[in-house]
Chain A
Amino acid sequence: MAPQDGRRHPKFWTPLFLAWLLALLATAGALFLGEVMGKTPCVLCWYQRIAMFPLVLVLGMGLFTSDPRSARYALPLAVVGWGIAAYHLMIFSGLVTEGLVPCGQGSSCADADVQVAGVVPIPLLSLAAFTGIGVLLWLSMRRAKV
């Protein structure tokens, strides 16, 4: 992973780019599921979106201006999103009962419909994305020593 040209590709840049790419793909995926396929996001999905969408912009600006500190500002979003995704997955898999969550009528957070291609639960995808983003941001911060 070591960059050949340290000045043109600072060490922190590659993990920052990958974290941003993950956020970008997750955002595009969420918008596709919601706006194109017409699945209504449940309340917990919305909270995860609130954490995910700004990552694209914050990290995008960081990449654009080669600012390693952007990872520091993005990390809280990733951590909060991770927590909500983990909670959502627990509800989805039945570890926590849904009575605790103020899920609005219309789309339940525990609904089996919350799946892509009928196999992968959306909260699992979300959790994976937030995990990846968190690890990459941490890596980027360590390399930049900020």
Chain B
Amino acid sequence: MSKKWMVLATVALVVLAFAAGVVVYTGRTNQEVTAAVQSNGDALIRPHSPIYGNPAAKVTIVEFFDPSCETCRAFYPIVKSIVNASFGQVRLVVRYAPLHHGSDTAVRILEAARLQDKYWEALERALAAQPQWASHDRPQPLLIWDVIGDIGLDITKARTDADGPAIDQLLRQDIADMQALKVNRTPSFFVNGTPLREFGEAPLKALVGEELKKAGAT
């Protein structure tokens, strides 16, 4: 075999082995996630979670969400528009995966706003200001209080609630469920219990479309 062919064949072999590795590894990871969902069915949706859209919708998007995560921020308008464009057939359930430093504090503030029915306003303000408070090496989640100052919250009450036992419990449960479902990056999506395998806007829309069809919606 000539030397050039030997080099090319070796490259081809390594590339093939790499591709085979990708197929095997992603297949195994997907199986693990699917198995985790099947054996922890109730870990996916808890009654305490915020819901966007029609609560009785046929298709449920569960999003494991981190307020400090840039990709979650970028996906927020996408998911919102999927729900809005569905005429009440799709809803979003927000679960927390506070994977960054300071994310738990951010979640506490958002949940305190939810107790006063200002959750989505607070969330949108917090996401808009994310570049200011959520730098990964020096997060300052307490800055969120400043950006939600004028949405009509009783701030004194909200500050007490944020450190209260109800929100403690909610955070603990979401983190436990995140681990049970093997969620290790955000955002992670499940549509009617099916994990989104290939990440992206188009695959998410395709999966929602599939589930809508299955649910017999038109």
Scan residues 150-208 of chain B and give those whose CB is less than 8 A from a CB of chain A: 184-185
- CB-defined contacts of B120 to chain A, threshold 8 Å: none
Other-chain contact of A9, B3, B14, B21, B185 (Cβ < 8 Å) = B3
The yes or no answer to A130 lying at the interface (CB within 8 A) is: no
In the complex, the answer to whether A64 meets B136 with C-beta atoms within 8 Å is no
In the complex, the answer to whether B137 meets A105 with C-beta atoms within 8 Å is yes
In the complex, the answer to whether A106 meets B18 with C-beta atoms within 8 Å is no
In the complex, the answer to whether B3 meets A105 with C-beta atoms within 8 Å is no
Report A129 CB to chain B, min CB distance, Å: 14
Other-chain contact of B7, A28, A31, A60 (Cβ < 8 Å) = A60
How far, in whole Å, are A138 and B138 apart by their CA atoms in the complex? 46
Interface bin, chain B? 10 to 19
How far, in whole Å, are A66 and B18 apart by their CA atoms in the complex? 27
Chain A residue, CB-CB nearest to B22: A36
In the complex, the answer to whether A64 meets B137 with C-beta atoms within 8 Å is no
Interface bin, chain A? 20 to 34
Q: Mark B14-49, 1 if CB is under 8 A from A, else 0.
A: 100110011001100000000000000000000000
In the complex, the answer to whether B21 meets A36 with C-beta atoms within 8 Å is yes
The yes or no answer to B85 lying at the interface (CB within 8 A) is: no
- Given A24-B14, A105-B137, residue A36 in contact with residue B7 (CB < 8 A): no
Chain A residue, CB-CB nearest to B7: A63
Question: Which residues of B line the A interface, CB within 8 A?
Answer: 2-4, 6-7, 10-11, 14, 17-18, 21-22, 25-26, 101, 136-137, 184-185
Question: Which residues of A line the B interface, CB within 8 A?
Answer: 8-9, 13, 17, 20-21, 24-25, 28, 31-32, 36-38, 60, 63-64, 66, 104-106
Closest 8 A/B residue pairs (Cβ): A105-B137, A63-B7, A28-B18, A28-B14, A36-B22, A24-B14, A36-B25, A105-B136
